Amino acid sequence: MQVNVLQLQFEKKVSEASLRMTTTRRGIFDILSKAERPLEITEIVTRLPGVHFVSVYRSVDALRRAGLIKQLPYGFKNRFELSDAFLPHHHHATCDVCGTVYEINNGKIEQALRSVTNEVGFTSSRHHFEIYGTCRTCSKSAQ
Ligand SMILES: [Zn+2]
Ligand SMILES: [Zn+2]
């Protein structure tokens, strides 16, 4: 049910961006909406059997430029997830050792950012940051 609402939203955004709706673009959206974490492009390609990787790359890029997909740098690679238009606002903490991505959804951070920017008389409309470090599992195995 929730997926259907998201799909309708996606179709609306795609036409607002004057993009053509293609099977590949719809497939990418489906995969990202079901993904439990941001995906690398090769992971998207693997999950779209029968679609040429060049076509996947181009579609991801078109959706990214239209603001429907977010690109998250990770080392020399990028990972992709649906933009804030589809997912609730959140941040990521990514483990440098094993690559696990933890979703950070914390009102205290948002509150602190608001008050810090308000102090300088700035009204923030959006922000974006990523956190990198070592997860609990990798910290333990390094000891
Ligand atoms: Zn780790
Ligand atoms: Zn935030």
CATH number for domain 2-82, candidates 3.40.640.10, 3.30.450.80, 1.10.10.10, 1.10.3720.10 = 1.10.10.10
Predicted confidence pLDDT, tens digits, the chain (143 residues): 455 788 888 999 999 999 999 999 999 999 999 998 899 999 999 999 999 999 999 999 999 999 999 998 887 889 999 998 888 889 999 999 998 889 899 999 999 999 999 999 998 888 888 899 999 999 998 77
> What's the 65 CA to ligand 2 centre distance in angstroms?
21
List residues, by chain if needed, whose CB lies under 5 Å from ion ligand 1: 95, 97-98, 135, 138
The β-bridge partners of 74 are 77
**Global model pTM greater than 0.85:** no
Domain range list for the chain = 2-82, 91-141
Residues 6+ positions from 54 with CB-CB distance below 8 Å: none
* Structure-block tokens of residue 99: 């690559």
Ligand nearest to C-alpha 136: 1
Superfamily grouping for domain 91-141: Ferric-uptake regulator, C-terminal dimerisarion domain (3.30.1490.190)
State the Cα–Cα distance between residues 54 and 133, nearest whole angstrom: 32
> What's the 139 CA to ligand 1 centre distance in angstroms?
7
CB 24 within 8 A of CB 40: no
